[in-house]
Structure 1
Amino acid sequence: MIGSYLKFTLRSLLKNRVYTGINLAGLAVGMAGAIVIFQLVKHHLSTDRYHQNAARTYRVVVDLHLDDGSVEQERGSAFVLHETLKKDFSSVGNAAYVARKEVTIRVDSGGASRKFLEKDLVFTNADYFKIFDYQWISGNASAMSAPNQAIVTERYARKYFGNGQALGKVIRADNRENLVIAGIVADYPAQTDFRYDIFVSLPTIRKIVPEYGYEDWGWIDSNRETYITLRSPDDKAAFEAQMPAFAQKYYGPDDRVFHYRLQDLSDVHFNVAYGGKIKYNTIIVLATVGILLVLIACFNFINLSTAQAFKRSKEVGVRKVLGVSQAQVFWLFIQETALLTVVAGAASIGIAWLFAPVLSRWLGLGLRVNVLTDPLLMVFFAALLLFVIVLAGIYPAFVISNFNPVKAIKGLLKDHNRSFFSVRKGLVVTQFSISFVLIAVSTLIFLQSEFLKNKDLGVDKNLVLHLNLPEAETSKLSALRNELAALPEVAELSFFRSAPSVQTSGGGTIKFENRDWEKFVARSRAADAHFVKTYGLKLVAGRAPAHSDTLNELLINRKLVKALGLKSPEDALNRRLHVGDAGKTGTIVGVLSDFNNGDLYTGIEPTIVYADQKRYRRAGVKLRLISAPTIPRIAAVWQKHFPENVFEYTFYDEEIAAFYQREELATRLTTTFALLSVCLSCLGLFGLAIFAIEQRTKEIGIRKVLGASVAGITAMLSMDFLKLVIVAIVVASPVAWYFMERWLQDFAYRVPVHWGIFVWAGALAAGIALATVSFQSIRAALTDPVKSLKNE
């Protein structure tokens, strides 16, 4: 019985090749999209969940409650925090300090010397390897308690020493300290945010970074974090309850500012306020899109299956007359759906396997699709097949098995679902509503991304080259400036801590003249006297400061003038200002037009620019022009003064663009899946158009005989489907507007939700749908009416 049913199913599918092909393509593409999204969601949800102590591991973060009522969320911590927590709290099991730093590593091996600029280097202590799981190849974590020790990953051991023995070998850091490789660990997995390849023992940090405030509780740096494990997850509430007393003990009267709390390790990846990689809401949206893609594919199947049901009515009637029960007919068509779904599922694995590497390159992830080696993906795939079979198969099977056999044989059955709001038309409206929302949202994300990249930041970002400064020694910087400035391509040169609009600068409270400490925080930028010209900053009052190696004269921006309550920029000139984070007082000699300190998620802040040579870490080179010899000339000068370091450069405008990579990736994702949903919807519409035209062949022939034009027939056939798309646009517009408004809430500067976005999204959806239907409509309208009537 089963064999005969299977044989009949295959014959039926082959007989209706066009509809079978459309159903297979729709299900395969929809399931492939769901599989790729599942892998993407699984990657993010599993990030750093593999650590044995993950459930009781926390990052210690601090919320800075400022006197003006604002709160700054800071993931960094003071150097003394980790040891103090372990000493003061019995509930703390392990405490690790993680300090990231860019370091030049020199390797002398085989008679040759090689240098590497390493960005994935951290200073940490032995507790780090007790908190986080690493597979040890050789050595152990105890070496991290001694100075000048390092642990490297397998790939870095090969990078430095090839296939030779790395353990016990010596590498040199920043031409200051030799490091002995005391251990080798296996490479980190793809599902981690702790992508470090070199671990340097914590006592070494004082030698390589001597200027850091190691005993200062207020010296908090976002690149230096503290992680702890508690004896039990139940200790978290009690621990946080003791934090106010802890802050009062070590901060005294400033304890009101420092509100410490514990951030779950599972939240580190998702909380963008503390530097997370992706929002948890984005994961929910991705999962929802995956479900919607499968639903659209299933709706296509339901529509085409029910449309064809009346063509197979005589077949069903004969079967029932011959004694086949309604249940048997039902399961026969469920079997047909299952066979199609399994074949489409196999194809979807291949499609997903091909597409996953492309998405991986876009997102910088290691996504792979291999059902045989991924048990969780295998379970998801099986559940997906079952879900599609049930959702896509039950309704068509119920409709077909419920036919009256007598009416079916006599051909008296008619499609009673011709009303405007029939189930079939309702599914089409739903499909295009989903597609319209995705198109509109992806359009807005694209516009916002372009807006962020092109917005006037108050600085000149063109033709500015950024170089690292390994040392801030006066004689070296002076010689470097003189030689670079002598190059014909160089227009200006500035030394500074960080460039504007790329990363937020440091800051603190200030005292203006004889007033008390201000209640707001002012951002500070350590930069030399050439900073203004190099970045095209505009002076609205006063002058640029004179050259100095330390804070003497300073600049402020308009925002700070307003925050101080002054009537005009001129009122600030020649007034004294004490800068809290610098611990010095200077004279205001100029007021700058407002410019963005950091990203465009936040607004313009009160800002101070002052000289402090000890803090300079980068150089900005403003070029007149750029040609093939430009970079080599600059590199030669730089290398002359820093021969032990690796020359590396970036362009300022590229740094700013990279700052909004999250929006760029969101644009790619939403656009990809929006187009995929439109393609799926149009695939179903294409099949329905074929069926509708087949049903109206005789009508088309008669209309042509009576003088109807090709354009008129095409318009008539297309309009029925276009009406459904228009209804979908009207229904989906409020939903699209809601999601767009919610997404824009994170930006201080944003594009408006303009009506043009809805017009564009609607025109695109309607245009694609019309093109899909018109192809078949024109073909039918051009058919010889004599043949149409004869065939009918």
Structure 2
Amino acid sequence: MINSYLKFTVRSLAKHRVYAGINLVGLAVGMAGAIVLFQLVKYHLSVDRYHANADRTYRVVVDLHLEDGSVEQERGSAYVLHETLKKEFSNVRDAAYVAQKEVTIRVDADGTSRKFLEKEHLVFTNADFFKIFDYKWISGNASAMAAPNQAVVTERYARKYFGNDNAMGKVIRANNRENLVIAGVVADYPEETDFQQDIFVSLPTLKKIVPQYGYEDWGWIDSGRDTYITLRSPEDKAAFEAQMPAFAQKYYGPDARVYHYHLQDLSDVHFNIAYGGKIKFNTIIVLATVGILLILIACFNFINLSTAQAFKRSKEVGVRKVLGVSQAQVFWLFIQETALLTFAAGAIALAVAWLFAPMVSQWLSLNVRIDIFRDIRLLAFCAALFLLVIMLAGVYPAFVISRFNPVKAIKGVLKENNRSFFSVRKGLVVTQFGISFVLIAVSTLIILQSQFLKNKDLGMDKDLILHLNLPETETSKLTALRNELSVLPEVTGLSFFRSAPSVQMSGGGSIRFENRDWEKFVARSRAADDQFVKTYGLKLVAGRVPVHSDTLNELLINRKLVRALGLKSPEAALNRRLHVGDAGKTGTIVGVLSDFNNGDLYTGIEPTIVFADQQRYRRAGVKLSRLNASTISRIGSAWQKHFPENVFEYSFYDEEIAKFYQREELATRLTTTFALLSVCLSCLGLFGLAIFAIEQRTKEIGVRKVLGASVAGITAMLSMDFLKLVLVAIVIASPVAWYFMHRWLQDFAYRIEIHWGIFAWAGFLAAGIALLTVSFQSIKAALTDPVKSLKRE
């Protein structure tokens, strides 16, 4: 019985190969998209979930409640926090401090000396880090992290530094001032982690490398330095947080009202953008939703074509029922046909997903692998996906077909209610194109917003500026470097500073203007020399540039700070005294700058102070008039001359700014890709329905042509029925598209308007593609010889 059913299924699919082919391609494309999206969603949901203590591991974060009513969310913490928490709270089992810092590592081996500038891959931490997070020890143990000048490396970094030699006991040199002994080697970290460090330096060493840091200062909070703890039980979280106000009162006194500590779940670290997360959890929801929508569109295509075909196969069903085949047997026969087609489409989908996985990996900087034989979760998803598609796509058509009256079926008098505007088939077409319209509109908005961010005037010059690291801030070296670079013909400006505008948020704190009390708002501070304004093309609206100094004497403020201080004009701020809290010094305001962005465009303009502080300088900005092959080489030679023990690296300012908006680039790629994919799937189904509809009206077309109807008139008649459905989909989906676009734009302080042109473009594109799809078959039918059409049975 099963064998005969299988033969019948194969013959049926071969007989109706056009419809079978459309269903096969539609299901394969939809399932391939869903498989790729599943891998993306699975990766992000798996990040750092593999640690044994993940359910009771937290990052201690603080919300700074300022007197002006604003709240700043800070992921970093004071150095003394981790030790104090472990001493004073019995429910804190382990506490780790993780400080990230750029360090130049020198490795001397085999008579050669190699240098590496370690940025993201080096951290300073303590032994509890390896108790909180799971690492497999190849050699050594975490106890060595209690002593100064000790380091632990991963296997790949052991090979990087020492080749195939045993790394244990080897010595490397940090910043040409401290020797570090390799006291342990751990296995390489898995891909599903945000802790992508390869060299762990013992925490006591940090005080030697950075002696000027405020280690005992509770107010010294740095975003690059986190505190992680594990509680003895997940149930202890509420009790711990309830004690934090009293804890803050103890160590901050009257300022305790500002510092609101709480625990951030480890599972939230990857998703919480406010505390430096990698991706929004809402984005994961969107990706999962898009995957489901692709499957639904593919299934809707299958349902539409299957039910349309049902009336062509009515005689076949009638004969089977007369011969004694039950309704249930007919039902399962057509389910079997759906299952066979689904498994064939699934095999193609896996091949397509595997083929495009490298491209997706390059797009997203992730290793997206498609291997169901090694990935048990992917295998389970594919099995569930196949079953879901069979149920969604097969049950309704099989149910409709199995209920045919055998007598009417054999006589061929079964009729389909094609005139019902709200029929299931038409409703599915409307739904398909509604989804496609929303995706097209949202992706269009994301593209326009991304272009807006790239092209927005930031209040400064960002082109042809080269950024260099400053390993040291000794006056003689900075002066010598300035003198050598300034004589290069391509160099038109050079500035030393801590961080460039619009690339990294600057520090900041409370300020006191003249004899007034401390202001209720926080002002951002930028440590920069007297060439900062010229190099970055900042606009001076009043006063002058400060004279050269190594420390805070004169300072600049921006117009936002002028307004925040309640002054009537920029000129009113000149020659007034301002105490800068985070610098601990008072200076004279000598100039007012036009507003510029301190950080990315997710946040607005903030009150800002620019002042000299040579000890804070970390980078140099080199303004170029032109760039040629030898420019970088000559700048590098001059830099290396003064910092021979360090690694020369450079970056371009405009590229650094662009990196801030990688999330938007990612969103653009994903939404555009899957919007086009949804349109293609919808049009594929529409194409099949057009073929069926035209076949049903072959004689009508022949009669109309005999009576004088033109090709254009017949094409328009056949196309309008489908175009009406697309237009209805656009009208219904427009409010939905507006809602999602409005929600997405809320993250930006600077954003474009949701213009009617976006809806017009998305509607025109959806309708145009649909019309093109239908018109192809309509024109073909209209050009058919009417004699052949009228002869056709």
**Following the alignment from structure 1 to structure 2, what is the Cα–Cα distance between the partners of residues 787 and 105?**
83
**Following the alignment from structure 1 to structure 2, what is the Cα–Cα distance between the partners of residues 645 and 702?**
86
Shift of 1:712: 1.5
Residue 26 of structure 1 pairs with residue 26 of structure 2: yes
Structure 2 counterpart of 1:14, which letter? Answer: A
Corresponding residue for residue 483 of structure 1 = 484
Q: How many residues align?
A: 792
Residue 503 of structure 1 pairs with residue 513 of structure 2: no
**Following the alignment from structure 1 to structure 2, what is the Cα–Cα distance between the partners of residues 105 and 512?**
44
Q: What secondary structure, in the 3-state scheme, does the structure 1 residue paired with 2:311 have? A: helix
Deviations 1:346-391 (A, max 9, x none): 1111111122222221111122111111111111111111111111
Corresponding residue for residue 731 of structure 1 = 732
Deviations 1:626-645 (A, max 9, x none): 11111111111111111111
**Following the alignment from structure 2 to structure 1, what is the Cα–Cα distance between the partners of residues 196 and 562?**
43
Corresponding residue for residue 374 of structure 1 = 375
Structure 2 counterpart of 1:687, which letter? Answer: G
**Following the alignment from structure 1 to structure 2, what is the Cα–Cα distance between the partners of residues 712 and 185?**
75
**Following the alignment from structure 2 to structure 1, what is the Cα–Cα distance between the partners of residues 774 and 650?**
54
Deviations 1:120-156 (A, max 9, x none): 1000000000000001111111111111111111111
Corresponding residue for residue 660 of structure 1 = 661
Deviations 1:550-585 (A, max 9, x none): 000000000000000000000000000000000000
Deviations 1:23-73 (A, max 9, x none): 011111111111111111111111101000001100000000101111000
Corresponding residue for residue 651 of structure 1 = 652
Please list, as runs of the form range in 1=range in 2, the aligned pairs for 1:548-563 lying within 5 A after superposition: 548-563=549-564
Corresponding residue for residue 770 of structure 2 = 769
Corresponding residue for residue 622 of structure 2 = 621
- Structure 1 runs (4+) deviating above 3 angstroms are none
**Following the alignment from structure 1 to structure 2, what is the Cα–Cα distance between the partners of residues 418 and 310?**
15
Corresponding residue for residue 437 of structure 2 = 436
**Following the alignment from structure 2 to structure 1, what is the Cα–Cα distance between the partners of residues 695 and 667?**
42
**Following the alignment from structure 2 to structure 1, what is the Cα–Cα distance between the partners of residues 463 and 76?**
32
**Following the alignment from structure 2 to structure 1, what is the Cα–Cα distance between the partners of residues 458 and 207?**
37
Please list, as runs of the form range in 1=range in 2, the aligned pairs for 1:81-92 lying within 5 A after superposition: 81-92=81-92
Corresponding residue for residue 246 of structure 2 = 245
Structure 1 counterpart of 2:720, which letter? Answer: M
Q: What secondary structure, in the 3-state scheme, does the structure 2 residue paired with 1:179 have? A: strand
Shift of 1:100: 0.5
Q: What secondary structure, in the 3-state scheme, does the structure 2 residue paired with 1:609 have? A: strand
Please list, as runs of the form range in 1=range in 2, the aligned pairs for 1:379-398 lying within 5 A after superposition: 379-398=380-399
Q: What secondary structure, in the 3-state scheme, does the structure 1 residue paired with 2:148 have? A: coil
**Following the alignment from structure 1 to structure 2, what is the Cα–Cα distance between the partners of residues 601 and 404?**
64
Corresponding residue for residue 515 of structure 1 = 516
Q: What secondary structure, in the 3-state scheme, does the structure 1 residue paired with 2:575 have? A: coil
Corresponding residue for residue 49 of structure 1 = 49
Corresponding residue for residue 72 of structure 1 = 72
**Following the alignment from structure 1 to structure 2, what is the Cα–Cα distance between the partners of residues 198 and 630?**
34
Corresponding residue for residue 63 of structure 2 = 63
Shift of 1:702: 1.6
Corresponding residue for residue 155 of structure 1 = 156
Deviations 1:732-791 (A, max 9, x none): 000000011111111111011110100011011111111111111111112222222222
Shift of 1:254: 0.9
Corresponding residue for residue 101 of structure 1 = 101
Structure 1 counterpart of 2:66, which letter? Answer: L
**Following the alignment from structure 1 to structure 2, what is the Cα–Cα distance between the partners of residues 445 and 701?**
48
Q: What secondary structure, in the 3-state scheme, does the structure 2 residue paired with 1:466 have? A: strand
**Following the alignment from structure 1 to structure 2, what is the Cα–Cα distance between the partners of residues 417 and 39?**
41
**Following the alignment from structure 2 to structure 1, what is the Cα–Cα distance between the partners of residues 179 and 689?**
73
Corresponding residue for residue 190 of structure 1 = 191
Corresponding residue for residue 759 of structure 2 = 758
Shift of 1:215: 1.1
Shift of 1:417: 3.6
**Following the alignment from structure 2 to structure 1, what is the Cα–Cα distance between the partners of residues 658 and 49?**
31
User: Mean Cα displacement is larger for which, 702-711 or 240-249?
Assistant: 702-711
**Following the alignment from structure 2 to structure 1, what is the Cα–Cα distance between the partners of residues 630 and 384?**
60
Q: What secondary structure, in the 3-state scheme, does the structure 2 residue paired with 1:242 have? A: helix
Corresponding residue for residue 202 of structure 2 = 201
**Following the alignment from structure 1 to structure 2, what is the Cα–Cα distance between the partners of residues 764 and 84?**
61
**Following the alignment from structure 1 to structure 2, what is the Cα–Cα distance between the partners of residues 265 and 407?**
65
Structure 1 counterpart of 2:373, which letter? Answer: L
Residue 690 of structure 1 pairs with residue 691 of structure 2: yes
**Following the alignment from structure 2 to structure 1, what is the Cα–Cα distance between the partners of residues 552 and 398?**
81
**Following the alignment from structure 1 to structure 2, what is the Cα–Cα distance between the partners of residues 107 and 446?**
46
Shift of 1:715: 1.3
Please list, as runs of the form range in 1=range in 2, the aligned pairs for 1:225-264 lying within 5 A after superposition: 225-264=226-265
**Conserved 8 A contact 1:433-1:732:** yes
**Conserved 8 A contact 1:601-1:746:** yes
Structure 1 counterpart of 2:634, which letter? Answer: R
**Following the alignment from structure 2 to structure 1, what is the Cα–Cα distance between the partners of residues 279 and 418?**
45
Shift of 1:418: 2.8
**Following the alignment from structure 2 to structure 1, what is the Cα–Cα distance between the partners of residues 437 and 394?**
26
Shift of 1:504: 0.8
Structure 2 counterpart of 1:426, which letter? Answer: G
Corresponding residue for residue 36 of structure 1 = 36
Corresponding residue for residue 584 of structure 1 = 585
Shift of 1:714: 1.3
Q: What secondary structure, in the 3-state scheme, does the structure 1 residue paired with 2:578 have? A: strand
Q: What secondary structure, in the 3-state scheme, does the structure 2 residue paired with 1:178 have? A: strand
**Following the alignment from structure 2 to structure 1, what is the Cα–Cα distance between the partners of residues 544 and 302?**
72
Corresponding residue for residue 447 of structure 1 = 448
**Following the alignment from structure 1 to structure 2, what is the Cα–Cα distance between the partners of residues 580 and 730?**
56
Structure 2 counterpart of 1:121, which letter? Answer: L
**Conserved 8 A contact 1:460-1:537:** yes
Structure 2 counterpart of 1:302, which letter? Answer: I
**Following the alignment from structure 2 to structure 1, what is the Cα–Cα distance between the partners of residues 149 and 321?**
86
Please list, as runs of the form range in 1=range in 2, the aligned pairs for 1:121-132 lying within 5 A after superposition: 121-132=122-133
Shift of 1:706: 1.8
**Following the alignment from structure 1 to structure 2, what is the Cα–Cα distance between the partners of residues 366 and 212?**
38
Q: What secondary structure, in the 3-state scheme, does the structure 2 residue paired with 1:459 have? A: coil
Q: What secondary structure, in the 3-state scheme, does the structure 2 residue paired with 1:712 have? A: helix
Q: What secondary structure, in the 3-state scheme, does the structure 2 residue paired with 1:311 have? A: coil
Q: What secondary structure, in the 3-state scheme, does the structure 1 residue paired with 2:102 have? A: strand
Deviations 1:178-237 (A, max 9, x none): 111111111111110101011001011111112211111111000000000011111111
Residue 292 of structure 1 pairs with residue 296 of structure 2: no
**Following the alignment from structure 1 to structure 2, what is the Cα–Cα distance between the partners of residues 670 and 170?**
49
Structure 2 counterpart of 1:77, which letter? Answer: S
**Conserved 8 A contact 1:417-1:423:** no
Q: Give me the identity figure in percent.
A: 84
Corresponding residue for residue 703 of structure 2 = 702
**Following the alignment from structure 2 to structure 1, what is the Cα–Cα distance between the partners of residues 327 and 681?**
32
Shift of 1:708: 1.7
Structure 2 counterpart of 1:49, which letter? Answer: R
Deviations 1:682-708 (A, max 9, x none): 110111111111111111122222222
Residue 275 of structure 1 pairs with residue 276 of structure 2: yes
Q: What secondary structure, in the 3-state scheme, does the structure 1 residue paired with 2:158 have? A: helix
Structure 2 counterpart of 1:192, which letter? Answer: T
Q: What secondary structure, in the 3-state scheme, does the structure 1 residue paired with 2:312 have? A: helix
Shift of 1:18: 0.8
Structure 2 counterpart of 1:279, which letter? Answer: K
**Following the alignment from structure 1 to structure 2, what is the Cα–Cα distance between the partners of residues 187 and 417?**
63
Corresponding residue for residue 10 of structure 2 = 10
CA RMSD between the two structures? 0.9
Runs (5+) with no aligned partner, structure 1: none
Q: What secondary structure, in the 3-state scheme, does the structure 1 residue paired with 2:59 have? A: strand
Corresponding residue for residue 421 of structure 2 = 420
User: Mean Cα displacement is larger for which, 777-786 or 83-92?
Assistant: 777-786
